[in-house]
Structure 1
Amino acid sequence: MTTLDDVTRWWGTSVSRIEPGVIEYRGRPVQDLIGSTSLVSAAWLLIRGSLPSPAQEALLEAALVAGADHGPQAPSIAAARMAATCGVGLNTVVATGVGMLGDVHGGAGEQAVQLFGEIREAERDGEDLAAATDRVLAAWQAKSRYVPGFGHRFHPVDPRRAPLLGMVANAAEQQVVSGDYLRAALAVEDALNRGRSRPVPMNIDGATAVIYAELGFAPPLARGLFVLSRTIGILAHGWEESQQGRRNKGPMPPPMLPAYLGEDAGDSDAGDSAVSG
């Protein structure tokens, strides 16, 4: 027999408490947070259950700012802008862009946290950093020629790398974070560039993965936090596009059309006639 307690526990949660006249985030009244807590700290509180230190908040905020936008050449942004011309609301525009963020576009940060974590685990087991990096990196490269968090199809050097890694290095010096994942990431970068004339630098996914890992976020949360930050850029682009008056915007401006790569119908018929006759 289903009891009232069974019903109330069906959606039981420790994230928030909502009752008539009461809204709490992890046990903290929302009225105490309003005006005194940043959105970044509130996100940390809801996800992790406690408030971050100011230094932790600054690191997380830097990662979120860095990932907020990358222009319409990013599939998530382009899709959102096209959706905005199709007569849908902003919620659908945002959902369209967010729905494009998968393993290839948007998921490299999660994968990079996993990569750096495997190297750190090997170090904890007593393996030398360089040896652990070479072994783990070889295993990843055996599965894919793409190493998550490194190289960029657009930027020879990602302008977001240096400031983010610099903040992590400073935080490590102040013992806010361990710096272990930063060392692992830099070891991967060194290994990838060994003997190469053209460097393969760390990109935004790798740099933010360092921050998320140093702050103790699980790999799937690295993707979730990236999606959270990119939603801001998606919203901004979707709103801008909606104000420009275009309708049914496609991926290429008119009168451009995609190249037809199929067999020409006329040639096909002629060939068939020759063979059958």
Structure 2
Amino acid sequence: MKNSDAKTSDEIVREAEAWWKTEIIDIHPGKIAMRGYPIEELIGAISFPQMIWLMVRGDLPTAEQSSLLEAALVAAVDHGPQAPSIAISRMAVTCGVELNNAMASAINVLAGIHGGAGQQCMELYADAARRMEQGATLEDAVEAALDAYIAENGKVIPGFGHRFHPIDPRSGKLLELVEAARAKGVVGGLYSRIGQQVEAILERRKGKRIPMNIDGATAVIYAELGFAPELGRGLFILSRSVGILAHAWEQSQQGGRIKGPMPKSIPYTYAGPARRAVPEVK
């Protein structure tokens, strides 16, 4: 390296300081600020949902926005030990790992099929909204968005229908809260209309009602509040982590060692070859 190309010590320090660039937190000895707000002023003044909004969005929500976000987070915290992620957290604890390891094991399976429907539904809603911006009617936009989604992903529509609940008891209440928020001018109601139109079109196409589930309803709320679809799964994980922690802790109190997915009295199904001799190796 030529001397003219050598960096000064000040240049090296500036380069190091710029390596991790963030608008989220400013931290110095004795000082912490989140998005510009001193942490000591936030503590005791805002709720956890408001903190989530601040960290992700960069500003503080109104009380009404925070309340709607909180409702969505509360609704999705748990769905019983039969949910794969919850079961994994409990099994992990019986293998001797700590709570944080059990939580990580559970969260790592929240992907496209288990835990991903909310984000996928937000993407479907966003596609319909874009088509409406381009001049399509609500019905035409949703029809086209559904067709595009099915062509790319198959016939299962995220956010509608439930393997366990004929009617999801959570979605109706959430949609009521969205409507109340719309009446107050907190949200516009576009994504609620899109979600209800999806339900109507699915019923017409299939000849039976495929009701909106928790993922479809929380997708409405997150979209109405202006969250990008890419944040949908992360918001769901923040919610479901509460249930994961609760189940992992309960299992640690109940005890048990190396619990599998089924009791030992229930066998699995073997479908391989019948018992056979190992051939002689020459």
| Shorter-chain TM-score tier | over 0.9
Shift of 1:197: 4.8
Q: Do structure 1's residue 165 and structure 2's residue 175 form an aligned pair?
A: yes
Looking at structure 1, the residues matched to 206 and 26 of structure 2 have their Cα atoms a distance apart, in angstroms, of 55
Deviates more, 1:132-141 or 1:23-32: 132-141
Looking at structure 1, the residues matched to 250 and 208 of structure 2 have their Cα atoms a distance apart, in angstroms, of 38
Q: Do structure 1's residue 212 and structure 2's residue 219 form an aligned pair?
A: no
2:117 alignment partner in structure 1: 108
1:148 alignment partner in structure 2: 158
CA 1:46–1:195: 2 relative to 1, 3 Å: closer
Looking at structure 1, the residues matched to 267 and 19 of structure 2 have their Cα atoms a distance apart, in angstroms, of 53
Q: Do structure 1's residue 177 and structure 2's residue 226 form an aligned pair?
A: no
SS in structure 1 at match of 2:27: strand
Residue identity matched to 1:136: A
Q: Do structure 1's residue 77 and structure 2's residue 86 form an aligned pair?
A: yes
Looking at structure 2, the residues matched to 225 and 249 of structure 1 have their Cα atoms a distance apart, in angstroms, of 30
Shift of 1:18: 1.3
Of 34, 37, 60 in structure 2, the residue corresponding to residue 25 of structure 1 is: 34
Q: How does 1:184-203 map to 2 (within 5 A)?
A: 184-194=194-204, 196-203=206-213
Q: Do structure 1's residue 87 and structure 2's residue 96 form an aligned pair?
A: yes
Looking at structure 2, the residues matched to 161 and 95 of structure 1 have their Cα atoms a distance apart, in angstroms, of 28
Looking at structure 2, the residues matched to 8 and 265 of structure 1 have their Cα atoms a distance apart, in angstroms, of 65
Shift of 1:196: 4.4
Q: CA RMSD in A?
A: 1.5
SS in structure 2 at match of 1:4: helix
Looking at structure 1, the residues matched to 116 and 194 of structure 2 have their Cα atoms a distance apart, in angstroms, of 19
Q: Percent identity?
A: 50
Looking at structure 1, the residues matched to 169 and 223 of structure 2 have their Cα atoms a distance apart, in angstroms, of 21
2:4 alignment partner in structure 1: none
Shift of 1:12: 2.1
Of 232, 236, 246 in structure 1, the residue corresponding to residue 242 of structure 2 is: 232
Residue identity matched to 2:92: A
Shift of 1:8: 1.3
Q: Do structure 1's residue 60 and structure 2's residue 69 form an aligned pair?
A: yes
Shift of 1:148: 1.0
Shift of 1:198: 3.4
Residue identity matched to 1:174: K
TM-score (norm 2): 0.92
Q: Which runs of 5+ in 2 are unaligned?
A: 1-6
Runs of 4+ in 1 over 2 A off after TM superposition: 195-198
Residue identity matched to 1:50: D
Looking at structure 2, the residues matched to 197 and 117 of structure 1 have their Cα atoms a distance apart, in angstroms, of 26
Q: For this pair of structures, how many residues does the alignment match?
A: 269
CA 1:166–1:36: 2 relative to 1, 3 Å: same
TM-score (norm 1): 0.94
Q: Do structure 1's residue 126 and structure 2's residue 139 form an aligned pair?
A: no
